Amino acid sequence: MLIQILTPVLAHQWFRKHEPTLSTAAACILVLPLANLAIESKLSQPDAPLHAFLDAFSIPSFLLRVLFFCFSLASLIVCYRLSPFHPLADYPGPLICKATKLWGAWVALRGDSHWYVKDLHDRYGPIIRIGPNELSFAEKDAISHILGSQGMPRGPLWDGRRFRQGSNDKPYDSLIDVRDNKIHHQLRKGWNNAFSAGPVKDYQELLEIRGKQLRDHLNSFSVKPGKGDSTPVDFAKWFSLFSFDFMGDLAFGGCFELMRDGDVHGFFTAMEEGMELPAVMQHVPWINPLMLSIPFISSRMHAFSSFGVQQATNRAAMQTKRKDLFYHLYELPAEERGGSIGDQMELIVADCLLTIVAGSDTTATTLSAILCHLLSDRKVYDTLRAELDEAFPSHSIVDGWPEIEIDKVGKLPYLNAVVNEGLRLVPALPTHLQRAPEAGSGGKVLGDMNIFIPEGTAVNISPFTLHRDPRYFSPSPEAFIPERWLANSEGTFTTNREAFIPFSYGPANCAGKPIAIIELRYLVAILIRSFDIYHASCKDATPEVLDAKAESWVNALKDRFVFGKSELLVDIVSRK
């Protein structure tokens, strides 16, 4: 009995100081009960040879010991996590969160993580415990200490977000899941160069082509003045097709035509479905290798990974003069050092997958959110329309469309306020910007906040929660009010830009932010200037009905690392 008790106690002592892995968990569950049986057999019959133990061994007896071991270990773990001896015992939070991260995985499976974390902060305060060894901060003063240049490396959650785990011998796939700050700094240099002013100019040319293509496709569904009703259009779908095509231009040399042909090859579907498993596994990353080995569970994720391999291979073989992201990130540096890109294929594949996820789905969701809120407040819509009509009064002689100068959209105050407000209410990465003290550091003190984070503790910041905090954005933090971002809003609104982190913050922020902001401004400008747009069948609806439309659409968003969105049906009338 003493041996049976001591075995799980010793295992628990080890797990208190080390992050679990699939191999260590399997070793504990299988090896320790077997060793337990062998020791008991030897103690009861000290002179018996080894084969006597093997002869006495039985599967039912072994399984019983395994069940007893697992139950004892789980009980010890839960009791310790809920006890006053745990280093995070003083932080408030639900008991279920303190006991197990499996609850966080369940919330993620439902797609409700963004609302769940916000509700916990509303209930318990700005610093809460959302996992056995995880804290969540809704404090703007903590942002620089956690995410800034003197902050912490990424936490264990990022291991569960890896798409190609096991495909190489490195502890990371791409820039986004590197947990070593030195390696991240080395990899980030290339991305910073690829999104500097010169390359972004090259990308703008690709953006203009795709933006005009989207406008022409939407025009085919529009009502021509005096010619009857339009066919409702799903803006969310079209924004997804557009952003996927644009990212294809940027990362793969222009191999996608989803706006023209539809998703006939299932590219976009593969990406959306491939995001579901990482969203859940990020909460229990040590189980990820097991999940990836089960075909019916990981098939969608593997399909998306295989898609990235194929597209990256095709782009590497292209002979093109196009100065896209691939050129600036890989081909140009290879030319400068006199080498080739062949030895970088593993990283190229992972980075291309990162580009698609981080650059397409995020932009499509934010565009959908901005348009949904604009259509729900006709006063805001008309104010933006007036600014755009004044800024871009001329039309193309060739096709009759308004001339939208892409370099000018960044200088329009109300347009920028609208984009900022959309990013505030629906940030591209809504939750789980997780960091953790560096391994071997012993812990981290959060600067002048005088809060000590023990090693082995993950720290999380949720932009979705921060952006709706009345301390930083008031009045009406849940409402879409672009005026809060205007220069003359002081005294009327509290708008704390230090708490505004839609692209994360610090050295690991979104590398593609420069082109993403331009993309959002340009697309909103070209759509509002070119069309009269209404929620489907709501042209004469009351403000209350329109508000309910926006609220319903936002509430239906699913947190899948990036947001999953429902359809956004609209009626459009051409202003050509």
Q: What is the tens place of the pLDDT at every residue in 307-355?
A: 777 777 788 777 776 788 888 888 888 777 777 776 677 777 777 777 7
**Mean pLDDT on 70-75:** 88
Which has more pLDDT, 434 or 230?
434
Written as six digits, the tokens of 146 are 């956690």
Radius of gyration of the chain (CA): 27
Using the predicted structure, report yes or no on whether residue 226 has a pLDDT greater than 80: no
Using the predicted structure, report yes or no on whether residue 184 has a pLDDT greater than 60: yes
Using the predicted structure, report yes or no on whether residue 244 has a pLDDT greater than 60: yes
Question: How far apart, in whole angstroms, are the C-alpha atoms of residue 53 and residue 375?
Answer: 76
Written as six digits, the tokens of 309 are 């391999």
Query: With contact defined as beta carbons under 8 Å apart, do 203 and 515 qualify?
Result: yes
Helices (H), 196-294: 197-219, 235-252, 258-261, 267-274, 276-281, 288-292
Instruction: Give residue 224's pLDDT band: very low, low, confident or very high (50, 70, 90).
Output: low
**Mean pLDDT on 499-519:** 94
Query: With contact defined as beta carbons under 8 Å apart, do 47 and 111 qualify?
Result: no
Which has more pLDDT, 185 or 32?
185
- Report pLDDT for 44: 63
Contacts 24+ apart (CB under 8 A), 416-420: 416/485, 416/521, 417/482, 417/483, 417/484, 417/485, 417/486, 418/370, 418/374, 418/380, 418/384, 418/482, 418/524, 419/370, 419/517, 419/520, 419/521, 419/524, 420/482, 420/485, 420/500
Written as six digits, the tokens of 321 are 């003069």
DSSP string, 249-277: HHHHSS---HHHH-STT-HHHHHHHHTHH
Using the predicted structure, report yes or no on whether residue 2 has a pLDDT greater than 80: no
Instruction: Give residue 496's pLDDT band: very low, low, confident or very high (50, 70, 90).
Output: very high
Q: Per-residue pLDDT tens for 40-54? A: 666 666 665 655 555
What is the SS3 string spanning 20-64?
CCHHHHHHHHHHHHHHHHHHHHHHHCCCCCHHHHHHHCCHHHHHH
**Residues 6+ positions from 2 with CB-CB distance below 8 Å:** none
Using the predicted structure, report yes or no on whether residue 389 has a pLDDT greater than 90: yes
Question: How far apart, in whole angstroms, are the C-alpha atoms of residue 238 and residue 568?
Answer: 10
Cross-strand partners of 127 = 137
Q: Per-residue pLDDT tens for 458-484? A: 999 999 999 999 999 999 999 999 999
Q: Per-residue pLDDT tens for 188-222? A: 988 898 899 999 998 999 999 999 999 999 998 88
Written as six digits, the tokens of 265 are 């090859």
Indicate the residue type of 343: D
Using the predicted structure, report yes or no on whether residue 132 has a pLDDT greater than 80: yes
Set out the domains of the chain in order of their start, with CATH numbers.
1-82 (no CATH), 177-411+508-574 (1.10.630.10)
Which H or E element spans position 107?
A: helix 102-110
Assign 516 to helix, strand or coil.
helix
Instruction: Give residue 248's pLDDT band: very low, low, confident or very high (50, 70, 90).
Output: confident
Most confidently modeled range among 49-58, 137-146, 248-257: 137-146
Go through the chain and tell me how many residues it has. 576
Most confidently modeled range among 7-21, 117-131, 154-168: 117-131
Average pLDDT, the chain: 87
**Mean pLDDT on 290-319:** 75
Question: How far apart, in whole angstroms, are the C-alpha atoms of residue 373 and residue 367?
Answer: 10
**Mean pLDDT on 104-111:** 93
Using the predicted structure, report yes or no on whether residue 302 has a pLDDT greater than 90: no
Question: How far apart, in whole angstroms, are the C-alpha atoms of residue 543 and residue 130?
Answer: 38
Provide the 8-state DSSP code for 437.
P
Question: How far apart, in whole angstroms, are the C-alpha atoms of residue 306 and residue 323?
Answer: 25
* Beta-carbon-side half-sphere exposure of residue 238 (alpha carbons within 13 Å): 22
- Report pLDDT for 48: 58
Which residues belong to the annotated binding site? 510
Which residues belong to the annotated binding site for heme? 510
Q: Per-residue pLDDT tens for 18-36? A: 777 777 777 777 777 777 7
Assign 93 to helix, strand or coil.
coil
Place of tokens 């009980």: 75
Question: How far apart, in whole angstroms, are the C-alpha atoms of residue 242 and residue 258?
Answer: 7
Helices (H), 392-444: 413-425
Task: Find, among 101, 60, 53, 73, the residue nearest to 6 by Cα.
Answer: 73
Question: How far apart, in whole angstroms, are the C-alpha atoms of residue 149 and residue 157?
Answer: 20
